[in-house]
């Protein structure tokens, strides 16, 4: 991945990973509280991080397109942003990189983006969901869901989703249920 030598110490399976649903969709899970965003942004530029995230999205695109072609079903990427443990707003440079890569993503891969879920929002912020939604691009607002995800919240980090099949199955079932709700 571009700039991976600088970024992989901060963006790793304990805080960011991609899983597959039984239908072939991708679930891109991020636990923001486990990313040392300020430390990372002291080592990389906004452009470098944005390029890294675009690379991840290109890989998602290639996988989803191959699955769509193989199955005859349009596969998508479901974004699961876990806010568990978050105590402060992200570093402004980190936010800028996310915004830049998301804007490019909307242009380059408009049919790939599935639902965007903000999971495990702290109780105090749940009252402000109506104020938070307009902060997202209009195209994301239509797919945005704010939901609790107890299975995900119960994990100290995300790696059990990759190496513990029952945990992965429970989480993917949780995501399936949240998408229906």
pLDDT at 164: 97
pLDDT at 116: 85
State which residues of the chain have pLDDT below 50. Answer: none
The span from the CA of 49 to the CA of 137, in Å, is 20
The span from the CA of 26 to the CA of 5, in Å, is 25
Q: What distances in angstroms separate CA 145 from CA 68, 95, 102, 115, 176, one per listed residue?
A: 24, 20, 17, 7, 13
The span from the CA of 99 to the CA of 19, in Å, is 23
pLDDT at 163: 96
Structure tokens at 56: 């991840």
Structure tokens at 102: 């998301």
pLDDT at 162: 96
pLDDT tens, residue by residue, 8-53: 999 999 999 999 999 999 999 999 999 999 999 999 999 999 999 9
Structure tokens at 101: 């890569």
Asked whether the beta carbons of 28 and 66 are under 8 A apart, the reply is: no
Q: What is the DSSP letter of 27?
A: E
pLDDT at 177: 94
Q: What distances in angstroms separate CA 166 from CA 29, 99, 113, 116, 169, one per listed residue?
A: 17, 34, 27, 24, 5
Backbone angles phi, psi at 3, to 5 degrees: 65, 15
């Amino acid at each position: 991945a571009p700039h991976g030598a600088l970024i992989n110490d901060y963006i790793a399976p304990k805080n960011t990973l991609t899983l597959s649903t039984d239908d072939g969709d991708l679930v891109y899970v991020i636990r923001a509280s486990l990313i040392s965003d300020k430390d990372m942004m002291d080592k990389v530029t906004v452009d470098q991080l944005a390029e890294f995230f675009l690379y991840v999205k290109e890989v998602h695109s290639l996988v989803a397109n191959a699955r769509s072609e193989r199955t005859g079903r349009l596969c998508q990427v479901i974004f699961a942003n876990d806010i568990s443990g978050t105590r402060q707003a992200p570093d402004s440079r980190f936010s800028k990189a996310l915004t830049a890569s998301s804007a490019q993503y909307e242009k380059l891969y408009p049919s790939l983006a599935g639902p965007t879920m903000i999971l495990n929002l702290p109780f105090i912020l749940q009252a402000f969901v109506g104020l938070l939604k307009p902060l997202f691009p209009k195209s994301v607002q239509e797919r945005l869901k704010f939901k609790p995800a107890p299975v995900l919240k119960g994990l100290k980090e995300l790696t059990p989703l990759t190496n513990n099949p029952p945990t992965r199955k429970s989480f993917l079932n949780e995501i399936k249920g949240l998408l229906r709700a």
